Amino acid sequence: MRQNQGMDRRLLFPLVAVTASAQQPSPEAAAAEAALRARVDQFYKLQMDKKYRQAEAFVAEDTKDLYFAGRKPELLGFSILKVELMDGFVRAKVTIKAKSSMLVMGAGRLPFEVPTDTLWKIEDGKWMWYVDTQAALQTPFGDVKRAGVSPSAALEDFANLAKGPDLDAVKIDRTAVTLAGAEANATAVISNGMPGFVDLSVQNSISGLKVEIDQPHIPANGKATLRFSKAGDAKIDGVVRVTVSPLNTVFDIRVR
């Protein structure tokens, strides 16, 4: 038995090594990504420092007019989430997580994070940020070219960092639940339509009621499920309060 296990291990290790080797990027791809990451880092650090004219050196020639015409976000921080090299390492899509802030009535200016896709291409041997104004819109009937795109529309994703998100973008599917029987449970779902994450906190002062959240930290376009349960025949009647941060939105859920 021990001999068979030894054979299995000897057979397994070469396969693991081959798989790991296949996943390693080529030296050319690794060098291109390293250079790209350095340029992205420099570009967004200049945005953080509001050195917009110095950042112009990182903008492609066909995008300079759009760059100067567009609004500049108040960038508080950023990180690179994903790099996708394309077209033989001369173009790339870089997903960043940008930290900005928004003004919330009654709470002042609060931070939020937005994942944003940015486009980069090689120009004169350097990675340059650009906007593809001729990008095709994908429809069920094929690709449709975006003719006559305005500077504000072309820079929409970039400029959206400067705007506060819709405070009504976080929704709950019900504000009342009923627990019937000796052992009963119910659910409510909260959906996050924000461009960044939100956090949930629960205030429950109802005796005999248990409230659980499967995901208190909801990413953009994510959902969280609240589960209400009781044990025994005790009467349940009260309000559970769920607070959404950083919006300070409050959902009151009546439980009976």
Cα–Cα distance measured from residue 152 to residue 137, given in angstroms and rounded to the nearest whole number: 17
What is the per-residue pLDDT for 108? 61
pLDDT by position in tens, the chain (length 256):
444 444 343 333 443 444 444 457 799 999 999 999 999 999 999 999 999 999 999 999 998 988 887 777 778 889 999 999 999 999 999 998 888 776 655 556 667 777 788 899 999 999 999 988 665 433 333 343 444 444 444 444 444 444 445 557 889 999 999 987 766 889 999 998 876 778 899 999 888 899 999 988 888 889 999 999 987 777 888 999 999 887 778 899 999 8
Total Cβ atoms within 10 A of residue 243: 14
- Per-residue b or e along 23-56, where b marks 16 or more CB atoms closer than 10 Å to that residue's CB: eeeeeeeeebbeebeebbeebbebbbeeeeeebe
pTM: 0.52
